[in-house]
Structure 1
């Protein structure tokens, strides 16, 4: 029986090594293309972002705001207090529902805690009516 068990272990190890080698060979191109595609992908349209408000883009981990007409900002949607996702933007304030931290929609700074650190900014670009990663 020990011969069968040894062969099984050796076969499994060989298969795992082959899978790792194949992943390493093809990983670079896929990763680069994914980054390039994300950089140009439309996250939202300018009409989707109300003045004084914003929109959480959950799949990207972002919140996009429009503090003043025609001025668009983006920040991480992960609250700096406990890591919860912010829930929305209203009256110039980004709100975290977990512990009620509030962040300024124009610069991500903390308006009220318990968070003590601002939301990190994310570069975006606006071309026409499309907002994408910058």
Structure 2
């Protein structure tokens, strides 16, 4: 049996296109969100990571001063898609700013909670865990280093 005699060409092509669209959506829907690889650079225009440290490894440029992150609160770096928090004095945390519900960027921090404007999900600033949904997964942690009053990506 040939393709031409079994199904019209438009039907086959339409089915193939539809299957590709559905499968493309399945590849990311429900997947755990992690920060984009671009978050691991220094933010410089050439993607370089700054000067080299004593062991020859690149040293990341600071993304914020520790003074910019209030105790019991935080700061959202929307351009880097990172949330920085200081749940207790001297303890700094970082999470992706991408909500695990549908990928919106979180927009505010109030009363110890990080809020997503799209559907109302809220996350604890101490550990990124879900305070209330519809999100069911926590915000992914982002590795940072704190030194000399500066916060850098690790």
- TM-score, with structure 2 as normaliser: 0.63
**Structure 2 CA distance, aligned partners of 1:88 and 1:124?**
21
Shift of 1:34: 2.0
Aligned equivalent of 2:49: 36
Of residues 85, 90, 95 in structure 2, which corresponds to 1:75? 95
The secondary structure found in structure 2 opposite 1:66 is strand
User: Following superposition, which runs of at least 4 residues in structure 1 exceed 4 angstroms of deviation?
Assistant: none
**Structure 2 CA distance, aligned partners of 1:127 and 1:101?**
32
Shift of 1:36: 2.5
Aligned equivalent of 2:83: 63
**Structure 2 CA distance, aligned partners of 1:35 and 1:83?**
27
Give structure 2 stretches of 5+ with no counterpart.
Answer: 1-45, 51-57
Aligned equivalent of 1:95: 115
User: How many aligned positions are there?
Assistant: 102
Give structure 1 stretches of 5+ with no counterpart.
Answer: 1-32
Aligned equivalent of 2:72: 52
Q: Are residues 59 and 68 of structure 1, via their aligned partners in 2, closer, same or farther at CA, if it must alter by over 3 Å?
A: same
The secondary structure found in structure 2 opposite 1:84 is coil
For the 8 Å contact 1:49–1:66, the answer to whether it is kept is yes
Q: CA RMSD in A?
A: 1.6
Of residues 113, 121, 135 in structure 2, which corresponds to 1:115? 135
Of residues 126, 133, 153 in structure 2, which corresponds to 1:106? 126
